[in-house]
Amino acid sequence: MNRTTGIVLFALSSLLVSAGASAQSGGAGAASAASAASVGKANTTIGRDTSPLNPENSLEIIKPPTPAEEKAFKAFNSFQKLSNEDLIRKSQAGEDFVKKYPATDYTPFVYAFLTVAYIQQGAVDKAVAAGEKDLALNPKDFRTMAVLSQSLSRLVKDSAPDAAAQLAKAETYGKNAIAGVPTLEKPEKMTDDNFTAQKNSILNMAHSGIGLVYVHRQDYPKAIAELEQAVSIGPNDDPTNFYLLGVSNLNSQHYDKARDAFEKCAAMKGQLQATCEDGAKQAASAK
């Protein structure tokens, strides 16, 4: 294993277990794993996502519910006023709702919330299960596909016996999300700029997820192509994508591009700063 690849594996093993909530919560490394953007039975819409692991921003009503369901949903929604630190109670409220209403108009939104909430808690298996239930009810929830693509690729350990299967799943989710974005229809009350931003957020996550799948496989040319797409689309408040782009270029002996990517990563506050500073020095000295 060369030194550069060793840096990748170290950062991936520590980065997204401890920084999963940071890199995907709208903080210094927003990975935009938001739980919004579900689809109604007869229309396609994007939710009010503003940050990845910020579940209280994840819900959008798609049609008037029955009185009983509305009451239950309001009870669940009241938990969204709790701080993000109280995710266990929030998640339990979501689980209580889907247990009582396993297939209603609100249920996909709650599963999308649970997908994000469990990622934030590091409960990957529960997150994937919730995401898959969401997609079973709402197969056009391209945001949840992108969330799963990025999260799985960031949290999988190469030493795990099911690593290849998890990476394949992450790749599929990402590609399906990218293919689905052009089919989205703008909600009536959403501005063009906001609609474009929401689509770009999905594409950013999906290309990031696929790019990291290729980093795991050490297929750096493909990783570079995907990660360049991710950073060109934005939002670019996640240093992880620039870090991975730097690693991929360094392994491909594209030293100027590697240094540029590492420097952009190092300019962002977060736990990757020191690693990216070292990467920039390594790229500069390798020329």
**Type and span of the H or E element at 283:** helix 273-285
CATH topology of domain 3-285: 1.25.40
Q: What is residue 286's predicted lDDT score, i.e. its pLDDT?
A: 87
Q: Count CA within 13 A, CB hemisphere, residue 219.
A: 10
Q: Under a CB-based contact definition with an 8 Å cutoff, are residues 272 and 18 in contact?
A: no
pLDDT at residue 168, rounded to an integer: 97
pLDDT score, position 151: 92
- DSSP helix/strand/coil, 275: helix
Give the number of other Cβ atoms within 10 Å of residue 179's Cβ: 12
**Backbone conformation region of residue 218, classed left if phi is above 0, alpha if psi is from -120 to 50, else beta:** left
Low-confidence residues of the chain: pLDDT under 70? 1-65, 79-85, 287
Q: Are 262 and 283 in contact (CB under 8 A)?
A: yes
CB 223 within 8 A of CB 241: no
pLDDT, tens digit, 9 for 90 and up, residues 73-124: 877 777 666 666 678 888 888 999 999 988 888 899 899 999 998 988 888 8
User: What's this model's pTM, rounded to 2 decimal places?
Assistant: 0.79
pLDDT of residue 133: 94
Residue 181, pLDDT score:
95
Find the Cα–Cα–Cα–Cα dihedral 269, 174, 207, 266, rounded to 10°.
Answer: 20
pLDDT digits (tens, 9 = 90+) for 120-157: 888 889 999 999 999 999 999 999 999 999 999 998 88
